Structure 1
């Protein structure tokens, strides 16, 4: 009533029009018009219940259903009638039966509750509409560039009405993985589900409120508002309530992630998996009487999807971190450590975090360094290039900079053996090698230089080229080729004879 009063006050007292009120309140024009024109503000009287129950096509068959359910009281729990079994028996045994499965399922659920044939918290047949979806994570192994990601995560989005579903592989189960996976699937199907069912995962839900409410994170709330998604949360420890996606998680793992996937790029693999899921829909729905394909039913899903917003949603997390004296910072409650740059020693840095990268930025939000995001037992990511480039300008301060202590032991030995005047050039060479093929290649080159006691920059570059640069092999000389004979000039300390042989009447030198 406070809002209604506010609307009417703006219209009648402040002389604002419908459009202005709708803009200021964020309400629909029709809603504003309704309350502006309303004349009856009496408390609505309760509507009397209908004395006659609504007739149903199922009425002639209800006694038979009740008989079967009554007999179930004496049967073992696992051998009692399900709604599906009753529907099929009616179809096969009851003459004139032409009701839908949905109608039967609703009545069976009602009668089972009445006859106490199921627990108070039993499995209720759920009816799903086109456009509704369910989301959940599963776990599976995969290899990326030869590296095993053990029990990594994958996100599944299923559509119970059609039994269609999609998956996206992820490194973990954080907010960035969730949002990036959902956005990728929205863009693939060119639409947004009207409603998505979720677990009460800590990634999304900060608190379960007594009475069924949920406190969710601000980022997730913004995501749902951006795409106009209605988020529905299951009762705690009641995963069966979204059984479609629970089953789809196992189905997609068995059919799309066996054998263990091996690939070079996670992004490319995820695009491939979206297309694989499309192909999987070319099969009959397991519970559709007309034997329609999942792909055909999924078109009904797509017809009910919300349109994609005109502005894309930025799924990255923007935050800050404080670096230590080694210019490093930690994330994930101190579990994972990353390097910044010597220019940000014991200071605050801006971070942009995605599911795969941690990007360090300066105060103007310009990228300083980019790391692959750490998961699991991996502890530290170190980018040596900013450190080597920085200290190369001040080589005399190497031992006192803190960077020296972070260097591998062989590199410390190498730098100690370098002459002071050469140290700056050596550090520049190491920075160049790091930029070309990574810090590991620079360390391997230094190891070889220490073994050979080659401490100058030119030798360092030569060793690197020998190890990491493709040097073409020259073909062997042809032994059969004719080699001209050398002319022998007799010479016995007689310069005039030598002059005569070389000049042959040429220039005279007095």
Structure 2
């Protein structure tokens, strides 16, 4: 993957010819041409794990020793030989060579001296961007979340966008960037990040980074260059640091309260379009006009949209449920004890079988939410075996109203009730189906047809009046007109009838 990234950078950012790239990288011409023509980096298979070098598990320890040395007298600091000896003493399984330790210590000491010399001023030409997360509380459909908002700032114009999420995991990072790219209609030439774990696996010598596979794949798909700040150097991306505060004060006060997060995020993008109709803080003109200069430098969007998800295999338990990142999700009773595939995005989580056919789709759980249960596959099976219903572990997990109703039913009633319940849930949702049962019981009806009629009444609103056509066998009556003139005569004559 790193080699592909290097090949594409040599072509896109350094303008090297295909033959020159083949010479530099050691790849043959056909391989270079294939990687440059590739324009879709969606994940098709689980990424392979890279094997770490012998020194990798001990690098953080050595870094800590050398950083502590900065406060020690010069003659009491670690030499490469002392580092090697201490590692051998403290860790019996340590078997890296003396030469590899010497090389690492020499490079690290040089790096630490460079870091202590201070920061370089950074210039951001049109087309570049900065990214960071902020924290914000919000309420979705009555539930409160302590979430995060992804911010992207364009320093040249001071334009900015944000997307609200329930986590700051890699799926949220990439989904937010993708939504903003697609809304704006282009991709920044370079983006500055801090060393977030969703993008950076490890900081190496001389400031180089090992990037996570998902982030690297996303970066190659959209073609931007990534730059990472020095640790604890927030000033290097001061534009987005300011934008984090601006978005919080102007968008998330008071606490946002909405029905659906995905729809709210679309609304945020349009609100921030309108926010650009104001002066740049340095008086250079309207932000909207300056942002057009940014957009002229943007890369075009790739033809294929990037599919953001985390891919993982798990085994379902005896009830067909699976556990993913401490949360429990239902699949289907037919998948009990079988391996399934998880496709987890920022908003949703799909569960697929081994043929990549979707079994069920859940809203992804975050925070205090622990379990998501989609009943349809289970209720369909129960409808086929109503006599065994009460003896299944799932019966006790059914809504109380439905359990009480089923307890009073005979075999045929149970079968019809479960079929009607599945039909109602598919038509709207489980809450509406339960409400129909509660209303039906309140009205004194206990058969499936009456419950269905109650459901239709509750979900359809007021029904229109219709004309009733009578059959031809019904005799036609002559129209009768009421004449009250005789009563008028009686009143005017004072009660005397002639």
Into which bin does the TM-score normalised by the smaller protein fall?
0.5 to 0.7
Partners of 2:310 and 2:413 in 1: how far apart?
44
**Alignment counterpart, residue 366 of structure 1, candidates 330, 339, 357:** 357
Q: Which runs of 5+ in 2 are unaligned?
A: 1-5, 7-17, 37-114, 466-479, 483-498
Whether the aligned pair in 2 keeps the contact of 1:22 and 1:28 (CA below 8 Å) is: no
Aligned residue in 2 for 1:297: 290
Aligned residue in 2 for 1:286: 281
- Is residue 2:179 matched to residue 1:179? no
- Is residue 2:135 matched to residue 1:139? yes
Partners of 1:120 and 1:275 in 2: how far apart?
43
- Is residue 2:412 matched to residue 1:421? yes
Q: CA deviation at 1:196?
A: 0.9
The secondary structure found in structure 1 opposite 2:420 is helix
Aligned residue in 1 for 2:477: none
**Alignment counterpart, residue 201 of structure 1, candidates 196, 206, 226:** 196
Whether the aligned pair in 2 keeps the contact of 1:141 and 1:148 (CA below 8 Å) is: no
Structure 1 length-normalised TM: 0.64
Aligned residue in 1 for 2:218: 223
Relative to structure 1, the CA distance from residue 28 to residue 370 in structure 2 (aligned partners, 3 Å threshold; closer, same or farther) is closer
Equivalences for residues 243-392 of structure 1 within 5 A: 243-287=238-282, 291-332=284-325, 334=326, 336-392=327-383
* Residue-by-residue CA offset, 1:425-454 (whole Å, 9 max, x unaligned): 221122122223322233344456667885
Whether the aligned pair in 2 keeps the contact of 1:391 and 1:398 (CA below 8 Å) is: yes
The secondary structure found in structure 1 opposite 2:360 is strand
Aligned residue in 2 for 1:188: 183
Whether the aligned pair in 2 keeps the contact of 1:149 and 1:171 (CA below 8 Å) is: no
- Is residue 2:15 matched to residue 1:22? no
Q: Which runs of 5+ in 1 are unaligned?
A: 4-9, 30-118, 475-481, 485-510
Q: CA deviation at 1:245?
A: 0.3
Equivalences for residues 96-115 of structure 1 within 5 A: none
Whether the aligned pair in 1 keeps the contact of 2:262 and 2:347 (CA below 8 Å) is: no
Relative to structure 1, the CA distance from residue 347 to residue 120 in structure 2 (aligned partners, 3 Å threshold; closer, same or farther) is same
* Residue-by-residue CA offset, 1:369-403 (whole Å, 9 max, x unaligned): 22111111111111111111122112223234432
Aligned residue in 2 for 1:237: 232
Structure 2 length-normalised TM: 0.66
**Alignment counterpart, residue 443 of structure 1, candidates 423, 431, 434:** 434
Partners of 1:309 and 1:227 in 2: how far apart?
6
The secondary structure found in structure 2 opposite 1:398 is helix
The secondary structure found in structure 1 opposite 2:288 is helix
Aligned length: 369
- Of 296-305 and 454-463, more deviation after overlay is shown by 454-463
Partners of 2:179 and 2:460 in 1: how far apart?
39
Alignment root-mean-square deviation, CA? 3.4
Q: CA deviation at 1:352?
A: 2.3
Partners of 1:483 and 1:363 in 2: how far apart?
77
Partners of 1:125 and 1:421 in 2: how far apart?
78
Relative to structure 1, the CA distance from residue 148 to residue 448 in structure 2 (aligned partners, 3 Å threshold; closer, same or farther) is closer
Partners of 1:281 and 1:422 in 2: how far apart?
62
The secondary structure found in structure 2 opposite 1:370 is strand
